[in-house]
Amino acid sequence: MRKFGLIGKKLGHSFSKKYFTEKFEREGITDAAYELYEIPQIENLPSLLEQEPELVGLNVTVPYKEQVLPFLDALDSAAASIGAVNTIKIREGQSIGYNTDYIGFKTTLEDFYPEQQREQALVLGTGGAAKAVWAALNALNIPFKRVSRNEAEGQLTYAQLGPEIVATHNLIINTTPLGMFPEVKEAPTLSFNSITSKHYVYDLVYNPEYTLLMQKCAERGANTINGLPMLHAQANAAWQVWNA
C-alpha cells in the first residue's frame, strides 16, 4: 500500500483527505491511501517519515511551506525559485520538494480574471502560499503589491490600504488563513467601500465556501472565487509529480 498525506499544524479545515479518497474510489486506485498528519512543529517531519516508511508523497500546508525546505534532500527548480514547497516526493529515502500551488493558482486565475480586465493586484499575506502567487502573477505579467502586517521595503501594511489603493487595484488575492474555519467571522482589513463590480477577489481559503471577505466584496458587486478550484488543480498536479 502506497501512503500519501498532508502535513500541517492544524488540519481540521482541510478537504485534502476527502478529495484524494474520493479520487482513489472513483478511479479504482486500490493500492493508495491518504492521511492527515498534524505535527506541532516542522522538526517532527523526520520522525514522521521514520514512523511511516510507506509514505511516498506528502502535501504541505500552513505554516510549513517555507519551514520545510531545510528538511528536504533536494528541490525542484521551480520550488527553489519560488522559495516554498507544498508537495514532497519520497523515493528511496530521498525527499524532493515541489510547488504545485503555483500551477493550481495560475491556471485557475487565468480562468477567473479575464485578460482584458487585468490591471494591478494586491496580494494579502507574505507566507509560502503568497510566494507561489507572486510567481504566477509575474508569469502572467500582472503587476502587484505585497501586503503584510509588518513594515518592510517594497510592501504595504494593512493600515496603508486606503480607498485609493483599493480602488486602483482591481484584483485582490488573500493568501492568509484569515476567515478559515473555525474562525469564520474574521476577514482581512480592507477599505470595502472602495470595492466595485470591476474588482476580482480571489480568496485562497476554501472552508468555509463563502468567506467573510468574499461576502463583503460581493455585496459591493465584486467577482469572487474561493480556493477550492486551486486545491483541486494543485492536488492533480501533485498526483502527477508523485507518479512520474
List, in sequence order, the alpha helices (H) in 27-151. 45-51, 77-82, 101-112, 128-139
Q: Is 242 left (phi over 0), alpha (psi -120 to 50) or beta?
A: alpha
Q: For residue 48, give the C-alpha cell.
A: 514522521
DSSP symbols for 123-191: EE--SHHHHHHHHHHHHTT--EEEEESS-BTTEEEGGG--HHHHHT--EEEE-S-TT-TT-TT------
Is residue 65 part of the annotated active site? The answer reads yes
Task: Record the cell numbers describing residue 13, joined without a space.
Answer: 479545515
- Say how far residue 219 (Cα) sits from the centre of its chain: 25
- Neighbour-count burial for 3-33, b at 16+ CB within 10 Å, e otherwise: bbbbbbeebebbbbbebbeebbeeeeeeebb
Choosing from 3, 17, 65, 131, which is the catalytic residue?
65
State how far the Cα of 105 lies from the Cα of 78, in Å rounded to an integer.
14
Grid cell in block for residue 70: 531545510
What is the C-alpha to C-alpha distance for residues 241 and 131, in angstroms, rounded to an integer? 20
Q: Which residues are known to be catalytic?
A: 65
